[in-house]
Amino acid sequence: MNKAIPLVTREGSRIAIVDGLRTPFAKQATAFHGVPAVDLGKMVVSELLAKSGIDSAIIDQLVFGQVVQMPEAPNIAREIVLGTGMSVSTDAYSVSRACATSFQAVANVAESIMAGTISIGIAGGADSSSVLPIGVSKALARTLVDVNKARTLSQRLSLFSKLKLRDLLPVPPAVAEYSTGLRMGDTAEQMAKSHGITRLQQDELAHRSHQLAAKAWEDGLLDGQVMAAHVPPYKDVLQKDNNIRFNSSIEQYAKLRPAFDRKHGTVTAATSTPLTDGAAAVLMMSESRALALGLRPLGYLRSFAFAAIDVWEDMLLGPAYATPLALDRAGLTLQDIDLIDMHEAFAAQTLANIKMFSSQQFAKEKLGREQAIGEIDWNRFNVLGGSLAYGHPFAATGARMITQTLHELRRRGGKLGLTTACAAGGLGAAMILEVAE
């Protein structure tokens, strides 16, 4: 094991996560239909500030992300500052790391606190799969630019006349890898096949995720972490995530047809995260600042790590690469961790990562380590369910996982948590969290 790297300010103060909040997560084109990500972000940040009771003028910086970019508001972080009545002098910038975007936002705020350039920040992310930047074909885009430059009407008509009917069709953003063209679901299929993950194993994991998430809601374990959100046309309030199945049987899962490889596949709608709308944010500060303000943090950031692998095969194995790095930096092993929350992009991806955690061969050949990362103890793994049930508004998921894990650690009397996610581009993120004493 390498030497631990303490995450502290120059004065030795730890990086505190003081509070966290999210909107309920809603399936695409349901409760948040028509609400852009920036508005979801504003909702959650306003409510987080109100809940924490601190004066928003003391927030030095807001770092936020959005995976599906809206061209009219490219710096979502700054729009949130300007749209929530925060001080106009609150610095704000946006980050993008695909499905690990809010992990990156948290890492940025942590690094700025450590460097001493800020002492209080908000980090988070929001995404909408219902309000999308629907584009135009490359041919139409090029023609529109040329038409703008044309001097006469006949030049303009001539340019338009070259277009084919199909060039006029709108182009929605793809949930696919830019460099390979593979959909995320295609990679999940590849991982299921390469790692021998069966259809039944995937169905069982998804069913477990829904059962545990449903129970978490029923038992009030998410109280205080999820705000009630007004939904258009602003007569109703959404209180809970609407993707979770409160009554389902494994037989229902078995009936579904594969969603990506329709002939030979095993990945279905139930074993994939649904396209989702939502936002999540955390309030962070140095431990000393939290103490000075009389605040009791939820916990501290003990370490974090990002990793990157190739995109052609096993592209969603990020957790198996990032976790050992984060553990090393915290001076810990997997056995020390009381709770693990691994982002469930797909059941197949989650199960492949779990297999690799315990594989000596993977450790030797891919990580250059003698020992496997460790066996997953199911009593500590995604104990309140995961993204398959809650849904996955891409940029919000990391902040959801961090807040949920810290609350659950506190409730159970645990000390250390691991949150980890895969992300497009072959990226992986892992964060070790520690509850406040």
Task: Name the residues that contact ligand ACO, by CB under 6 A.
Answer: 99, 175, 184-185, 206, 210, 245, 248, 252-253, 256, 259, 269-270, 272-275, 316, 345, 392, 422-424
C-beta neighbour count of 155 within 10 angstroms: 12
Residue whose CB is less far from ligand ACO, 210 or 302: 210
Residue whose CB is less far from ligand ACO, 261 or 336: 261
Residue whose CB is less far from ligand ACO, 107 or 275: 275
CB distance 394 to 286 below 8 Å: no
Least distance to ligand ACO from the beta carbon of 346, Å? Answer: 7
Least distance to ligand ACO from the beta carbon of 181, Å? Answer: 14
Residue whose CB is less far from ligand ACO, 383 or 429: 429
Handedness of CA 339, 340, 344, 345 (dihedral sign): positive
Residue type for 190, please? Q
Residue whose CB is less far from ligand ACO, 126 or 422: 422
Residue 392 bears catalytic tag: yes
Residue 422 bears catalytic tag: yes
Residue whose CB is less far from ligand ACO, 265 or 297: 265
Least distance to ligand ACO from the beta carbon of 31, Å? Answer: 14
Least distance to ligand ACO from the beta carbon of 186, Å? Answer: 9
Residue 210 bears catalytic tag: no
Active-site pick, 195, 207, 392, 407 = 392
Least distance to ligand ACO from the beta carbon of 103, Å? Answer: 12
> Peptide bond before 36: cis, by omega within 30 degrees of 0?
no
Enter the tokens of residue 405.
């894990």
430 Cβ contact list (under 8 Å, min separation 6): 304, 305, 306, 307, 319, 322, 323, 325, 326, 327, 418, 419, 420
Least distance to ligand ACO from the beta carbon of 373, Å? Answer: 19
Active-site pick, 99, 207, 210, 343 = 99
Active-site pick, 207, 210, 407, 422 = 422
| β-pair type (120-127, 61-65) | parallel
Nearest in space to 67 (alpha carbons), one of 19, 128, 146:
128
Query: What DSSP assignment string belongs to 322-385?
Result: HHHHHHHHHT--GGG-SEEEE--SBHHHHHHHHHHHT-HHHIIIII--SS-S----TTTBSBTB
Residue type for 346, please? F
Helix (H, G, I), strand (E, B) or coil at 290: helix
C-beta neighbour count of 370 within 10 angstroms: 8
Instruction: Report, as residue numbers or ranges, the catalytic residues.
Output: 99, 392, 422
